[in-house]
Amino acid sequence: MSVDTEVLSPDLRHLEIHWEGSLGEAYRAHRHRWPPKLALAAALVETGVGLHGLGRTVPSPVDLLLGDLCLARASRLLANEAGRVVQIAFARAIELAASAPTSGADLPMIRELLGRALEGAV
């Protein structure tokens, strides 16, 4: 993991504290199947959605900004590392997660959605 951390370090700026928690955990879950940058993009989306508390709680302003940063950074990683199909599938996953609380639907399993999106990458 330390090698990965070294590789990813610039992409963890401002998110170091979450790397010790939910971000690191999500990364490890995706990393066993996908290359580091794509696994990090998926982990960032999961963490961003989590920080925004979609369907659960209203986040603090700081958590909202950090969640925004997670989503934006994932977007930049995907722009550099993934094809159009994956970029679109990730965006759809976030649209689903954001609209689920008001649509009455169950909150989608974001990790599963992102995993399926990444399958389009290979």
Partner 1 sequence: MITRRITLSTGQGTGLIDLTSRLDEEVAAAGLRRGRLHLHSLHTTLGLILDRMEPVLLDDLIRFNGEASNGHHADGGRGRLLLRPGITALVEDGRLLLGRRQAILAVELDGPRSRELALQLEGEFSAAPTDRELELVELELRRQLLCDPDPMRLPMARLVEAGGKRLRPMVVVLASRLGPAHDPLRAAVLGAAVELIHDATMVHDDYVDEAATRRGRPAVAVAEGPARAIEVGDYYFARATRMIAELGDDEVTRTIAGALETICLSQIDEVALRGSYPGDHATYLQVVRGKTAALIAAACEAGARLGGGGIELAARVARYGELLGIAFQMVDDLLDYSDASGKPIGTDIRQRTLSLPLIYAYEDERAGPLLRRLFAGELDEEAVVRVQELVRQCGALERVAAEARSLIASALEELSGLDPDRGGAALAEIAKRAVDRVS
Please state the closest distance from residue 68 (CB atom) to partner 1, in A. Answer: 5
CA-based torsion, 96, 45, 87, 27: positive or negative: negative
Please state the closest distance from residue 97 (CB atom) to partner 1, in A. Answer: 7
CA-based torsion, 94, 98, 103, 104: positive or negative: positive
**3-state secondary structure (DSSP) of residue 82:** coil
Instruction: Give the residues lining the site for partner 1 (CB under 8 A).
Output: 13-14, 49, 52-54, 58-59, 61-62, 64-66, 68-69, 71-73, 75-76, 78-80, 84, 87-88, 91-95, 97-99, 101-103
Whichever of 39 and 77 has its CB closer to partner 1, that residue is 77
Whole-Å CA distances, 72 to 11, 27, 29, 103: 11, 17, 21, 25
Whichever of 79 and 122 has its CB closer to partner 1, that residue is 79
